[in-house]
């Protein structure tokens, strides 16, 4: 059995995450366009329905995306793989390119511990276009951006794009992307909380831009960029890759303690499995070995 390169993910049903994935070399492969919106929106809707993922907020920037989601069945890796694979294949086909679409590192999935953390990361997600100095409000972003006003509403229907997808294939002709409130919120509570926090972040970003003597780029210039472009600033190196977000110190300590215990128990179980010990039970949230090898896992408490 090959050694694992990265620490295993603990995937527990009914967990809320901030999910992020970046393009290769930070190129603008997700730059706003009718085709990008059609492909990404359709595939996000299909992937969410297929894997029972509830979507609370999203933004598709030119070289990365953020999603705030709740994984009801513990299928986040399968959801992420389905979405990333088909987005890459469809957009690569539209660009006539064959190179890797996504950055080499796997997607980031940060567990959001409390309601406060969910609001903070959802607002952070929706503030991305403003914080990056691109447009003055999230609603002005010409790409995919989830409007808090749509939470709990009918949803946005996406038609299967004519490019890349087989008209006679098994993918649905239409799929609806619905915004739902996270666990612990009513739709009204979530809309109110995220709108308030988003307004604070947007105002701060605008003040900082003015103080730096800069102006917003504007939607027109964003749309004029080429997919082969990338940001003028250098790519950050050796950034931390957190798995837990909690503003409350003690909740963060508790969550990190649970993750540490999972990793310890996982490694102990894996060592026994490699030694041929019979009846090894892996800790709750074991995903890859459960899916690939069918190892038995303890139930989540």
Cβ-contact 85, 43 below 8 angstroms: no
Q: Does position 2 have pLDDT exceeding 50, yes or no?
A: no
Alpha-carbon distances of 199 from 76, 124, 202, 213, 291, rounded to whole Å: 30, 11, 5, 21, 42
Q: Which residue has the higher pLDDT, 6 or 194?
A: 194
DSSP assignment letter at 53 = E
Residue 235: its pLDDT value, please?
A: 52
Q: What is the mean pLDDT of the chain?
A: 90
Q: Does position 227 have pLDDT exceeding 90, yes or no?
A: yes
Is CATH 2.60.120.10 the classification given to domain 15-247? no
Residue pointed to by tokens 């991305």: 128
For the chain, how are helix, strand and coil distributed in percent, rounded to 5? Answer: 40, 15, 40
Residue 165: its pLDDT value, please?
A: 86
Mark residue 27 as left, alpha or beta (left: phi above 0; alpha: psi -120 to 50; beta: remaining): beta
Residue 1: its pLDDT value, please?
A: 39
Ramachandran angles phi, psi of 70, nearest 5°: -115, 130
Percent of the chain with pLDDT over 90: 71
Mean pLDDT along residues 184-198: 96
Q: In the beta sheet, which residues pair with residue 158?
A: 175
CA 240/CA 110 separation, integer angstroms: 12
Alpha-carbon distances of 175 from 32, 46, 48, 59, rounded to whole Å: 20, 6, 10, 18
Question: How do the domains of the chain map onto residue ranges?
Answer: 15-247, 251-293
CA 76/CA 103 separation, integer angstroms: 19
Mean pLDDT along residues 205-210: 92
* Tens-place pLDDT, residues 166-175: 877 789 999 9
Q: Does position 10 have pLDDT exceeding 90, yes or no?
A: no
Residue 240: its pLDDT value, please?
A: 52
Q: Does position 5 have pLDDT exceeding 70, yes or no?
A: no
Residue 3: its pLDDT value, please?
A: 41
Cα torsion through 202, 22, 31, 214, rounded to 10 = 40
The least confident of 95-104, 125-134, 232-241 is 232-241
Give the rounded distance of the alpha carbon of 256 from its chain centre: 21
Q: In the beta sheet, which residues pair with residue 108?
A: 20
Mean pLDDT along residues 216-225: 94
Residue 238: its pLDDT value, please?
A: 46
Q: Which residue has the higher pLDDT, 99 or 242?
A: 99
Q: How many CB atoms lie under 10 A from the CB of residue 204?
A: 13
pLDDT band of 236, cuts 50, 70, 90: low
């Amino acid at each position: 059995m090959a050694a694992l390169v990265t620490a295993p993910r603990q995937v527990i049903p009914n967990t809320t995450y901030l999910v992020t994935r970046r393009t290769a070399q930070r190129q603008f492969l997700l730059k706003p366009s009718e085709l990008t919106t059609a492909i990404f929106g359709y595939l996000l809707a299909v992937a969410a329905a297929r894997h029972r993922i509830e979507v609370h907020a999203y933004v598709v920037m030119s070289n990365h995306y953020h999603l705030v989601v709740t994984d009801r069945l513990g299928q986040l890796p399968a959801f992420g793989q389905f979405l990333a694979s088909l987005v890459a294949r469809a957009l690569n086909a539209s660009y006539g390119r064959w190179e890797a679409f996504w950055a080499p590192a796997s997607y980031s999935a940060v567990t959001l511990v409390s309601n406060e953390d969910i609001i903070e990361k959802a607002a952070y997600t929706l503030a991305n276009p403003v914080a990056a100095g691109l447009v003055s409000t999230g609603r002005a972003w010409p790409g995919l951006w989830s409007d808090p006003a749509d939470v709990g509403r009918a949803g946005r229907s996406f038609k299967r794009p004519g490019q890349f997808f087989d008209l006679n294939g098994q993918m649905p002709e239409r799929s609806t992307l619905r915004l739902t409130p996270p666990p612990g919120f009513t739709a009204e509570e979530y809309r109110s909380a995220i709108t308030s926090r988003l307004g604070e972040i947007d105002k701060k970003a605008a003040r900082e831009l003015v103080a730096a003597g800069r102006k917003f780029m504007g939607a027109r210039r964003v749309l004029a960029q080429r997919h082969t472009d990338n940001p003028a600033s250098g790519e950050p190196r050796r950034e931390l890759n957190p798995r837990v977000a909690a503003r409350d110190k003690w909740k963060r300590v508790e969550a990190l303690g649970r993750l540490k215990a999972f990793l310890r128990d996982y490694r102990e179980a894996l060592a026994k499995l490699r030694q041929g010990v019979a009846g090894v039970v892996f800790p709750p949230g074991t995903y890859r070995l459960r899916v690939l090898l069918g190892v038995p896992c303890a139930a989540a408490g």
